[in-house]
Chains A and B, each alone.
Chain A
């Protein structure tokens, strides 16, 4: 199937969450190949060749991240899987772990082998307790089959794998906050440098990777890095899980080849099948709540009139003026009836709630933005509030310890940039704004 290629190929096979069905479908073949025929360096080399980029949002090349890992003598190294998926609009990792847990576990063993880690962790979001149970059952099966534990498949390589739940905080998806939380401390992001590759978990070199990145190592080892890199366009290689939600005819998790056009993804029969109830597209947040929102005329085309593609580069084309980001792949679509002010307030409320409160711009700034947006949404805004919001954004952006401050500032900045008229209408017509939405704004379509 077109939207089920590498990671989700066997996801609909009954019983795939059990190890027997998974092995029957070719599971753990990559692991056997790696442990019997490859050295750890070979695995790293294949991942480098594949061009795989971090699927958690930042898009940093995974192979390069691995090669930064410090390897001092006599010091353990750790691999930590970041399964603290909590970005609004993003639910791809949960789907993968829930449906096909052994893919993640096989990826963890392969990646740990490549990095020389003998103890690895899956840090899972606290709200995903039922997924934790699925993973723990799968890990127990893997131990019983000898894929985990001492002397895996007779190769002499040892690995223990543990799943640890968080307490339910978005900030623990930030890698250093995750490590603090994993160590049993308050989940405050650390001051960098040092980066985790040098001083991570318990002061030891650590790699933190997203669930999807780790799962992607399985097909990369099976088919080779070159085969993976053959999918996609330019520096956006391979497949990507996209969790599509909002006013779509068929929302859900899709595995797309990077390079698919946005138009095909929204309207194609293999994918989302257009906007629900025959409505029109108003706006789209293509990569999870923290990336800039795009108005309808910039979703399928860039500002220069080229087709917008589902790649890291194409979605970012035009910078913050007319572009956005692929981010984590949380694809949120708004139809003509949705209120941008209300949505922006909703996002701002999320970030104000999830800020750790450690550094002052984020602690005070996110709360301030939330209050101002709440006032505007509830008909008590002033015209100067719009400029105030834009200015608060500028004072937060880049001045915080971790990227949460930026993530909180960007969606508000982009909403004001693209939908300023709607904000003004809310302020000018406070009582009307309480009873109806502004609707599809009539912006000129760029030719």
Chain B
């Protein structure tokens, strides 16, 4: 039996046990709360960042009382007859703004030199819910850099502690060698005795990271992402599905990422999440390695989705100068 839930005045029917967030994603558009830590492809994620807080105006048809606190929509299951306010609630708007302020309080805001800029979820979130000025006058927190290997760069100062990379290591790799050390403000992603994070699927940590805390070392400082053409490409690979997006400039491949949907999550292809192996991601940067199908439409991030390359490869935009 399906349950009915109303989000921002729009009714939708979902399976029992579905979270409010996933019910909202079924509606789409403005009804969808932002999510920085929840990742539908990684069971167990969510509940931590608190950006997806929503107001439950009626708990269920059986018990229509409102919930006193805002709830994390990613980890609260819907009930039949539940009424949820997301975009339409002033309270949600205020508190979400508060969460964004907290996330940005100690963030270095070094977007001009950050490889994630242009496809960063925190940039998008700040643009939608942040304020123009900061009230944070204290010295920003910094961490000593640690080396986690020659493929992945950890930049802890940018981290928002979503724990997604920890779930990737738990669920996609055989041994997790990194995790969260310390607590509170000093909590940090780190490795056990500075061990390198090296296994066939560790590169997926880069794809799931919502900010620039984990970036591709083979792509480091090579180009801004919006100067590159995202192309759907495929190669035969024994370790993974081999279906990727290659980011090109002219005929050169600058980097390889997984195919992501409009929520920034790795897509399901043929019923399986299309995680990439490190071999495809880091070792195949020649156009000859890939069977390139055509342009990939990126419809999430403001800068890349300007549409420069989105519609057609036939008429490249002429640049001035």
Contacts and interface: CB of A to CB of B under 8 A. Distances in A.
Contact of A352 (B47, B99, B103, B185): B185
B177 to A, nearest CB: 15
B133 interface: no
A400 B99 CA distance: 10
B69 A398 contact: yes
A357 B187 contact: yes
Contacts of A368: 102, 105, 136, 138
A375 B68 CA distance: 34
Contacts of A364: 102-103, 105-106, 185
Contacts of B115: none
Interface in A135-162: none
Nearest to A355: B184
B158 to A, nearest CB: 14
Interface stretch (B48-56, B143-151, B196-204, B210-218): B48-56
Contacts of B186: 357
Contacts of B50: 359-361, 399-400
A40 to B, nearest CB: 31
B180 A186 contact: yes
B156 interface: no
B135 A388 contact: yes
Nearest to A358: B48
Contacts of A61: none
Interface string A19-32: 00000000000000
B265 interface: no
A399 B161 contact: no
B161 A357 contact: yes
Nearest to B46: A191
Nearest to B107: A364
A193 B47 CA distance: 11
Interface string A363-374: 111111001100
Contact of B103 (A357, A358, A360): A360
B70 interface: yes
Q: Name which of A169, A364, A366 has the most chain B CB atoms within 10 A of its CB.
A: A364
A363 to B, nearest CB: 6
B17 to A, nearest CB: 12
A371 B137 CA distance: 9
- How big is the A interface, by class? 20 to 34
Interface in A243-293: none
A371 B138 contact: yes
Nearest to B182: A357
Interface residues of B, number: 36
A360 B160 contact: yes
A171 B187 CA distance: 14
A336 interface: no
A186 to B, nearest CB: 7
Secondary structure of the A contact surface, majority rule: helix
A354 B141 CA distance: 17
A198 interface: no
Interface string B56-87: 00000000000011101001010000000000
B48 A360 contact: yes
Interface in B165-199: 179-180, 182-187
Nearest to B162: A360
B185 A356 contact: no
B119 interface: no
A325 to B, nearest CB: 17
A419 B209 CA distance: 44
B184 A352 contact: yes
Interface in A317-359: 352-359
A367 B103 CA distance: 12
A401 interface: yes
B232 interface: no
Contact of A354 (B51, B98, B161, B183): B183
Interface in A23-49: none
A361 B102 CA distance: 6
Given A358-B48, A360-B50, A367 B184 contact: yes
Contacts of B185: 352, 355, 357, 363-364, 366-367
B101 interface: yes
Interface centre among A171, A371, A394, by most B CB within 10 Å? A371
A395 interface: yes
A399 B72 CA distance: 8
Interface in A368-395: 368, 371-372, 375, 388, 394-395
B89 to A, nearest CB: 14
A375 B138 CA distance: 9
Interface in A157-197: 169, 171, 186, 191, 193
Contacts of B105: 364, 368
Given A357-B183, A360-B103, A368-B136, 5 more contacts: A191-B75, A357-B185, A366-B184, A368-B138, A401-B47
Interface of B: 46-51, 53, 68-70, 72, 75, 77, 95, 98-99, 101-103, 105-106, 135-136, 138, 141, 160-161, 163, 179-180, 182-187
13 contacts: A191-B46, A357-B180, A357-B187, A361-B50, A361-B99, A364-B103, A364-B105, A364-B106, A367-B184, A368-B102, A372-B138, A394-B98, A395-B102
Q: Which 8 A-B pairs have the closest CB atoms?
A: A395-B98, A357-B187, A364-B102, A355-B184, A191-B47, A367-B185, A371-B138, A398-B69
